[in-house]
Homo-oligomer: A and B are copies of this chain.
Amino acid sequence: MIIDCHGHYTTAPKALEEFRKRQVNGLKDPSLSPAKDSLRISDDQLRESLEGAQLKLQRNRGTDLTIFSPRAGGMGHHIGNAATSALWSGICNELIHRICTLYPENFVGVCQLPQSPGVKPDNCLAELERCVKEFGFVGCNLNPDPSGGYWTDPPLTDKWWYPLYEKLVELDVPAMVHVSASCNPNFHFTGAHYINADTTAFMQFLTSDLFKDFPTLKFIIPHGGGAVPYHWGRYRGIAQDMGRPPLKELLLNNVFFDTCVYHRPGIELLLKVIPADNILFASEMVGAVRGIDPETGHHYDDTKRYIDAIDWLSAGDKEKIFHGNVRKVYSRFTAHSTTC
């Protein structure tokens, strides 16, 4: 079985985007705010949005199941306030739940949190609990920068986030560290903000004792860990210079990397320097890069091909990467798959 741990619902019917536009317009003129039940998307529309996209690509590429969450770039936590974010997150998560119900063999849910800059994450606990307990979701996406590129909230290692971590531990679900759109003109969202956030989060973890406080807390750092594996020597060296424990001991019980790296040399580096126990297969399709690489004739984001082609990777390590580690990190996924 091949599980892709990182997929977003990037192909939602236009009605969703139109609802969001009305919601944003309503921030200026509350009379324009749409009622939640004004959004109508039928099951057939959901099916149609997936059949020619994620489901087709699953079939073509030979992957089985995607851990699926709302569109990351669409979370837009910087827009409006906590109430804006609560309504929008609820809607997006409910769509994911409907998709997972329509296609239980193909999708397992992960939720967006109703974060808002400057608002304590305590306001996310109820939605997280609803998604896990009522919808059977197996994790959440945690935005380390709800400001959308100005980084005005505290680091992920600050006690500010602890109530959320307590809930994650209680529910036994991991968080994928994933920013959303950037409203800072310095940062292109998929080309800079995403990758920078991955690198930033790792370095925050490296300099803190967060995992002493939460030994079972688990984070997935997406996009192959940002810059981290490429600079693994730098991070080992910085930790050493700071008198921190070796990275393996300090972090690798709690921090995992996905394989969203869109060329073979990058994937090879990742597999060389990061233990197989800490790598989870992912493609983020349909996502940041949708084209076909003229150098290979295949989609850039068909990451399974790169892994399949690496002949020095043992069968055991491949199994871990393709599904074993997902069952370990997303521990509720095991429960899900045994009850389905």
* A interface residue numbers (CB < 8 A to B): 144-145, 149-151, 153-155, 158, 184-188, 190-192, 195-196, 199-200, 203-204, 206-207, 223-224, 226-227, 229-238, 240-241, 261-266, 268-269, 272-273, 288-291, 293, 300-301
Contact = CB atoms under 8 A, between A and B. Distances in A.
A207 B230 contact: no
Given A227-B226, A232-B266, A273-B265, A238 B186 contact: no
Nearest to A226: B227
A233 B262 contact: yes
A159 to B, nearest CB: 13
Given A196-B199, A263-B236, A291 B241 contact: yes
Contacts of A233: 261-264, 266, 289, 293, 300
Nearest to A230: B230
Contact of A199 (B144, B192, B265): B192
Contact of A184 (B151, B187, B291): B151
Contact of A227 (B158, B230, B232, B291): B230
A231 B238 contact: no
A199 B195 contact: yes
Contact of A266 (B151, B185, B224, B269): B269
Contact of A288 (B230, B238, B264): B238
Contacts of A264: 233
Given A151-B186, A155-B186, A191-B203, 8 more contacts: A151-B184, A196-B199, A230-B269, A231-B263, A233-B263, A236-B293, A237-B288, A237-B300
A240 B187 CA distance: 19
Nearest to A198: B227
B234 A289 contact: yes
A186 B199 contact: no
3 nearest CB pairs, A to B: A233-B263, A227-B227, A237-B289
Contacts of A226: 227
B230 A185 contact: no
